Chains A and B, each alone.
Chain A
Amino acid sequence: MGASPARISTTHRHMANISEPLSSALIGTAPIPGDLSVRIRRGAEYVAIPMFALAVSSVLFSIFLSALGKSPTEFFELVHRGGFGTAFSIQNTLQRSAPLILTALAVAVPARIGLIMIGGEGALVLGGFASAVAAIPLVIGHAPPLLTLIIMAVMGTLTGALWVGLAGYLRHARGVNETISSLLLTYIGIAIMNFFVEGLLRDLTNPNKPSTMPIGDAYMVGKMPGTEVHWGFAAGIVVAIVLYVLLSRTTFGFAVRVTGGNPRAALAQAVIPVAILFGGIVASGGLVQRRMDLPDATVLVLQGLTFVVLLASETLYGRFKIFQVSGTADRT
């Protein structure tokens, strides 16, 4: 198996007679002077402007806290401690960020094509519900855990896909605005879940909180060895990488990018650090609330503020000379 080296080098020698540029293209190019620095400059814009936006939102939030008589430094120190500072907290953060990665990707992929789909929560709810329901007969019948998990994953994925896909179909078939329809479907999905979980599919052994039958530890996704973080986090990373490859290296991805929309807003590989950041902020919320006597909603304010500033910073792209590279047109 595998091409024999001998054959490749004969081809090379044969082709070398045709023309210089072609043969060098076949060998593998020597780096074009400035190529790497071009890419660093353009990539730097995608890092520098969001970091600037984060800094601005931190400053604004600090002003907000100071006006209330609370110490901003204490707040950020607690966020750091609760979200990223200790081994325990960072594992907590990674766990919380796992679903965030996936739901963020659910928004990122349609955003590439110009659709703003906010139905991630509905898909999350119904997908989780479908998985739990699919598990019921399997757990009762003592099916092997791996098979159960696979079936649960497939059911969850399909349900979520069909639910949000409905919003996409409505946009395609009737031109219904996908933002509103996906938001409405979220509420409808939550109602559907509530209806079944409190009614037909309620697990009667747990009188406290309405839920479906618990599947038990044996059937739950295991933890990654050496850590407390479950494999779902790894799954999120893998999906993000797969999507990046899909969008940047396949014909389908090319079609998506050509259709346009917002090629900047949704770099699949940027989702992971952002999800971890927000996971950390949310994870530290409880610590902040207890130590600083601030309401839980504090992190909500910080998140909302950060989003607004991040989105507003979109206006800064392309304005600073330092990121512009002369002679290269913007290829998007």
Chain B
Amino acid sequence: MSDSPFFIVLFAIVGGALRVSTPFMFVALGECLTEKSGRVNLGLEGTLVLGAMTAYATSYHTGSPWLGVLAAGCAGVFLGGIHGYVCKLPKVNDIAIGIAMMLFGTGLAFFFGKSYIQPSAPRLGSFSLGEWTGNPQIATALQVNGLLIVGIVVAVVMAWAFANTRWGLIVRMTGDSAPAARAMGVSVDLVRFVATAAGGFLAGVGGAFLSLYYPGSWNQGLSSGQGLMAVALVIFARWKPLRCVVAALLFGAAGAIGPALQSVGITQGYYFFNAAPYILTLLIMIASAGSKQALRDVPGELSITK
């Protein structure tokens, strides 16, 4: 039964969804935090790529992939910090800065990463969620990396923190109404700076996943708009961290359709399947934009939906 092409494709999609969704998840969670504080960071695409390169290079030099993950996070803090600092200057448009940072981050990554394209660095390991079934196909399909679990934990913590802690309240207040936050004595610029930098950290970790797990190598074509899709994903998820996880899984599944079909020999329309995540993102944005629910959930200070 599990040999029929349908099941092969199904398992490939599920496994692919688990793999491909992880970078989406991290970038989306980072962007969720940033946007909750009232700022849009479109530069996360560049952060993703720089994080991937940093992780790969660090892992290559130190032999420890997890150190690479940490370094990637720090690279993300660096870029997020620049974005956060520049955007607080008056009259600066955060969307435009995001695009410029995307160019800058990607440029830095390719610049420093040129010498890391060939060598092979130690990768992150994986374990299988499907071991217990005793079916080798299911076991291979359900191989996940620790970072996926970390991502889900971060989402849960974030969701809880937004609702129940003082810091969460401060972030939300800064994002909903800057004047109200200032009246409470909160430094709006500082909160947004920290939120953007923290968002950058998460995005950097997402990038580390790309280069150290799947696809598991560093080259200049590693990311193809995933950072940007993650921004759309956050809107779709209505700025709720747990929904970001679900949305990331959905996007991961969409991205896994192409390779899954290829694995059973269907190669027609290769490009369309690879464009599936973008098309899906666009359709979802069309469907969810303008709906009353979205307008209620959007952080009031956010410029992207004005």
Give residues in A with beta carbon < 8 Å to B: 116, 118, 170, 174-177, 179-181, 183-185, 187-188, 191-192, 194-195, 198, 262, 265, 294-305, 307-308, 310-312, 314-315, 317
Contacts and interface: CB of A to CB of B under 8 A. Distances in A.
Given A300-B106, A304-B104, A314-B93, 15 more contacts: A174-B286, A177-B235, A187-B225, A191-B271, A191-B275, A265-B93, A295-B114, A297-B107, A297-B108, A300-B110, A301-B111, A302-B107, A304-B46, A308-B104, A314-B92
Contacts of B99: 116, 118, 179, 307
25 contacts: A176-B286, A177-B304, A179-B304, A180-B231, A180-B281, A184-B229, A188-B278, A265-B93, A297-B109, A299-B107, A300-B103, A300-B106, A303-B103, A303-B107, A304-B46, A304-B108, A307-B100, A308-B82, A308-B100, A308-B101, A311-B86, A311-B97, A312-B86, A312-B97, A314-B89
Interface in B254-306: 269-272, 274-275, 278-279, 281-282, 285-286, 289-290, 304-305
A151 to B, nearest CB: 27
Q: Give the most central of A187, A294, A303, A311: most B CB within 10 Å.
A: A311
Given A116-B95, A177-B289, A311-B92, A184 B282 contact: yes
B166 interface: no
Interface in B44-87: 46, 82, 86
Nearest to A194: B271
Chain B residues touching A, majority SS: helix
Contacts of A179: 42, 95, 99, 304
Given A175-B290, A180-B232, A185-B282, A262 B93 contact: yes
Contacts of B275: 187-188, 191-192
A315 B285 contact: no
B119 interface: no
A300 B111 contact: yes
B271 A307 contact: no
B110 A295 contact: yes
A103 to B, nearest CB: 14
B237 to A, nearest CB: 14
A301 B104 contact: yes
Contacts, number: 139
B277 to A, nearest CB: 9
Nearest to B88: A315
B100 A295 contact: no
Contacts of B304: 177, 179-180
A158 to B, nearest CB: 21
B241 interface: no
Interface of B: 42, 46, 82, 86, 89-93, 95-97, 99-111, 114, 224-225, 228-229, 231-232, 235, 269-272, 274-275, 278-279, 281-282, 285-286, 289-290, 304-305
B128 to A, nearest CB: 32
Given A175-B289, A195-B272, A312-B97, A187 B104 contact: no
Contacts of A116: 93, 95-96, 99
Nearest to B280: A184
A242 B105 CA distance: 35
A216 B282 CA distance: 38
A245 B185 CA distance: 49
A192 to B, nearest CB: 8
A17 B165 CA distance: 79
Contacts of B286: 170, 174, 176
A308 B258 CA distance: 36
Nearest to B105: A304
B224 A187 contact: yes
A207 B103 CA distance: 33
A176 B91 contact: no
Contacts of A195: 269-272
Given A174-B286, A308-B104, A183 B89 contact: no
Nearest to A295: B114
A112 to B, nearest CB: 14
A162 B231 CA distance: 25
Contacts of B270: 195
Contacts of A191: 271-272, 274-275, 278
Contact of A300 (B42, B107, B272): B107
A194 B224 CA distance: 15
A181 B285 contact: yes
A304 B107 contact: yes
A297 B110 contact: yes
A208 to B, nearest CB: 19
Q: Give the most central of A195, A294, A299, A304: most B CB within 10 Å.
A: A304
B273 to A, nearest CB: 9
A179 B304 CA distance: 9
Contacts of B82: 308
A260 to B, nearest CB: 12
A176 B289 contact: yes
B28 to A, nearest CB: 13
Nearest to B294: A175
B280 to A, nearest CB: 10
Contact of B103 (A175, A188, A307): A307
B272 to A, nearest CB: 6
Contacts of A314: 89, 91-93
B299 to A, nearest CB: 14
A307 B95 contact: no
Contact of B305 (A177, A192, A262, A305): A177
A38 B280 CA distance: 53
Given A187-B224, A194-B271, A181 B96 contact: no
A28 B190 CA distance: 56
